[in-house]
Structure 1
Amino acid sequence: MIDFAVIRTDMGGKARLGRLTTSRGTVATPAFMPVGSLGTVKGVDPDDLRRLGFGLILNNAYHLYLRPGHQVVADMGGLHAFTGWSGAILTDSGGFQIFSLAKLRKVTDEGVTFQSHIDGSLHHITPETAVRIQEALGADIIMALDECVGLPSSVELVQEAVRRTSLWARRCQAARRRTDQALFGIIQGGTDSALRVQSARDLVALGFDGYAVGGLSVGEEKAAMYDVLNVTTPELPAMKPRYLMGVGMPEDLVEGVARGIDLFDCVVPSRHGRTGWLFTSFGRVVIKQAHYARDERPIDPICRCPVCTKYSRAYLHHLFNVKEMLGARLNTIHNLFYFAELMRQIRLAIEQGRFAAFRTEFLARRDQWPGEEQVDETVEARGAKTACSVQVYKENRRR
């Protein structure tokens, strides 16, 4: 299945440098998983992901169950053969998607009945069904079915979701048949500290291969999310991987690592890339802005990604405005590189025992990031300071 080892810790043992080993390779943690809900990370192919340094991605069982169907994927040899991705895959069981996408849904202890967001067709998924679907898909790591509720919700509703999530977790454990897949349990509890602790203890008692913190980024403030992590991660086994589901702004990755999280996933880098929001060392670049129309510089003068070493902002601005699919692809590649590099820097900081300083500097710099109207001056200053000027950029393009 998987092997997980904590190699080094920092910040009093909270930030963890680890190694997650699957039959398809080893992933250094903390790690970010690009999201390919439908079997692909939009705009990029498996070779792109490998070159960017990713070894673990997320596919979604809910989406693949609806289209093309889990049996189709199984008949094609499983997700790895079907998609051409040779690295490790984690599949989300679909609890969050049923909560967020289904047109109508009815939840009972038996399972959940819902209408597809695609065509309105009626479906019924139980914990046992969720496991069978993911076993057919053939992911390396699969997730137990959970009940996710929106926030804010009443205490009674969150209590019921915690109870049902624990019930379903036990049934998922009993339903698993494949021995080559790891099964993670999902902790619920909203923003209620006592319920989070209760949920964590219930799932730890079941002995899962790893533990996910779910039900966040669904309407709560960031401070509330961080408070949840503060009380939840201490309840989890030290030598099992910890996964924060669906949370992925850069500051959330840094703050999650500071609270003991090992794995993250989010659509942020790809979705923001498609909408022209680019992450940089100095803030954001919204490439549709008119002042980029004649800008010869790369997105980020100190970035080493394939996009910044070859293309100008002016070209990316043009591609976005004429709705060329290459623009979305290049933007996504840049954003994914940013996330991969951020995680590499985090791991290095933990290895060197300076993660606390890294975190402080990162958050201070982020608080000082300029608004869009100030970006040009900031880039110019950073470019001059690091000798990454337009001339260097042009030299890189000639090479």
Structure 2
Amino acid sequence: MEFVVRTWSAGARLGSMQLAAGVQMETPTLLLLTRKGLPAFIPPDLLQNLHPDARACQVSPLHFLDSPSASIVETAGGLHKFVSMTGFGMVALARDSLMDESNGEASSKLGAAFETTSGRRVVGPAKYMEIVNACKPDLWVSLPDEVPTWAAEKRNRLSVDRTLQWLDHCLSLQPAERGNRCLGVVVGSASLDERIRSAEQTATRNVVGFSLGGFGLGEDASQRALQMDAVIAKLPKEKLRHTSGLGLPEEVLQAVEAGVDVFDSIYPFMLTKGGYAMTFPLNMENSPGNLDTQPSASELAYIGSDSAKMNLRSVAYRLDKSPLVVGCKCYTCQRHTRAYIHHLINTHEMLSQTLLEIHNTYHYLEFFKAIRDAIKADKFLAFRNWFTSTRKETRVHSPASKSPTLVLH
């Protein structure tokens, strides 16, 4: 893996990342969320032409604990060949949806506990690296021990010590012939001192980049900004920086301003599952000029939509012949209408999720492209200020009640 920083704008940086699979991408960029190496609803043939930036995927090694097993993937020649995605980059990382709130003493020598399809499993560095080495990813993130912000000081300190020990163990199990492809995890939860210690110690290891762990686990935005700035100040500027758990556009912009290069996010997937299409504006020049001509917040709330997303389940779109977003060049918007997708959703057709995920993934990749364009033009701060001003919380009155309802974009 090769990474080069090209230019900066207000803390944000534009880079170029070359993966071992021959995939070259500009950063900041998004890794596509996958289940066992493939996006949830988009088939590989459509993924090939979805978007020029749809070339790298995030995969969890935990998906290969049971079926299919790591030995099956290894026999197939690695994950790229197993899922027929040889032209794509694969980044392996494990992150748990349920954090262990115990003191962690009992399992400290065994590994981290993860929620899997076969129940809660403890995975140690040896098992983790067995799966990673079988998958042969372009990059892999070391095994983390992440704890939420409410974890006790003792538990948090143990988390940092354990993550560093596991990093050393994982590095010792990395095949020498495949080269160094490890991103070391930086943890520390709510403690600024522990995050700094974790960053300083991880920076001394032989890694190609860093994964900022423990975010999106209960911290507030101002706390996150302080911690990110402090951690990144301790990391080498020439190495790649990745983070998990930050999916909302505002969170992405905050991390980009701090200097993060690569993201993975469940945001497009969750909107797709809910029957929503992304609609938020993407550049300052083409943003709506006269807000008086736009639907009011109360009108949007009545149909379950807002200025950032559209609820395609609503009967309001039953006869709407418009594309999801006027001017969008994705496969869905070029070929289908809101009315058709509304029909597919309400008749429980699987095609609805495929078409929605294509649009939502395309729209979100366009958001990252807009960020890179703003950095190139040295207008990132202006772009962030404009974007967040269009996404402020709006208080509206629900049609069924006189009490105000908070609509979050």
Task: Normalising by structure 1, report the TM-score.
Answer: 0.86
Q: CA separation in 2, counterparts of 1:208 and 1:339? A: 29
Is this contact kept in 2: 1:98–1:114, CA < 8 A? no
Aligned residue for 1:132? 130
Structure 1 SS opposite 2:26: strand
Select between 303-312 and 259-268 the one with higher mean Cα deviation: 303-312
- Structure 2 residues without counterparts, runs of 5 or longer: 282-306, 400-409
Is this contact kept in 2: 1:106–1:112, CA < 8 A? no
CA shift digits 1:262-311 (9 cap, x unpaired): 00001211232122122112411111122112222221123222212221
Instruction: Tell me the amino acid that sits aligned with residue 266 of structure 2.
Output: V
Number of residue equivalences: 366
Q: CA separation in 2, counterparts of 1:372 and 1:65? A: 49
Q: Which of 372, 384, 404 in structure 2 is aligned with 1:347?
A: 372
Aligned residue for 1:322? 347
Is this contact kept in 2: 1:88–1:139, CA < 8 A? yes
Instruction: Tell me the amino acid that sits aligned with residue 238 of structure 2.
Output: M
Is this contact kept in 1: 2:59–2:91, CA < 8 A? yes
CA shift digits 1:194-240 (9 cap, x unpaired): 11111101100113111001111122223332332122111111111
Aligned residue for 1:78? 78
Instruction: Tell me the amino acid that sits aligned with residue 313 of structure 1.
Output: R
Matched, 1:226 2:251: no
Is this contact kept in 2: 1:56–1:88, CA < 8 A? yes
* Percent sequence identity over aligned pairs: 24
Aligned residue for 1:356? 381
Is this contact kept in 1: 2:341–2:352, CA < 8 A? yes
Q: CA separation in 2, counterparts of 1:370 and 1:55? A: 39
Is this contact kept in 2: 1:187–1:200, CA < 8 A? yes
Aligned residue for 2:234? 235
CA shift digits 1:148-186 (9 cap, x unpaired): 112321122111101111111111122212442501111
Aligned residue for 2:262? 263
Q: CA separation in 2, counterparts of 1:135 and 1:249? A: 32
Aligned residue for 1:396? none
Cα offset, 1:373, TM superposition: 8.9
Structure 2 SS opposite 1:257: helix
**Where do 1:59-74 residues align within 5 Å?**
59-74=59-74
Q: CA separation in 1, counterparts of 2:16 and 2:112? A: 38
Q: CA separation in 2, counterparts of 1:88 and 1:36? A: 12
Aligned residue for 1:279? 278
Q: CA separation in 1, counterparts of 2:394 and 2:40? A: 28
Instruction: Tell me the amino acid that sits aligned with residue 33 of structure 1.
Output: L
Q: CA separation in 2, counterparts of 1:258 and 1:116? A: 32
Is this contact kept in 2: 1:284–1:372, CA < 8 A? no
Q: Which of 15, 20, 35 in structure 2 is aligned with 1:18?
A: 15
Structure 1 SS opposite 2:47: helix
Aligned residue for 1:148? 146
Relative to its length, the structure with more helix (as a share) is: 1
Instruction: Tell me the amino acid that sits aligned with residue 62 of structure 1.
Output: L
Aligned residue for 2:315? 290
Relative to 1, partners in 2 of residues 1:132 and 1:87: Cα closer, same or farther, differing over 3 Å? Answer: same
Instruction: Tell me the amino acid that sits aligned with residue 224 of structure 2.
Output: M
RMSD: 2.4
Aligned residue for 1:88? 89
Relative to 1, partners in 2 of residues 1:46 and 1:370: Cα closer, same or farther, differing over 3 Å? Answer: farther
Matched, 1:170 2:195: no
Instruction: Tell me the amino acid that sits aligned with residue 340 of structure 1.
Output: L
Aligned residue for 1:387? none
Aligned residue for 1:395? none
Structure 2 SS opposite 1:37: coil
Is this contact kept in 1: 2:111–2:125, CA < 8 A? no
Is this contact kept in 1: 2:247–2:267, CA < 8 A? yes
Is this contact kept in 1: 2:37–2:57, CA < 8 A? no
Q: CA separation in 1, counterparts of 2:325 and 2:395? A: 14
Aligned residue for 2:284? none
CA shift digits 1:350-382 (9 cap, x unpaired): 1111111111111111127797999xxxxxxxx
Aligned residue for 1:246? 245
Task: Normalising by structure 2, report the TM-score.
Answer: 0.84
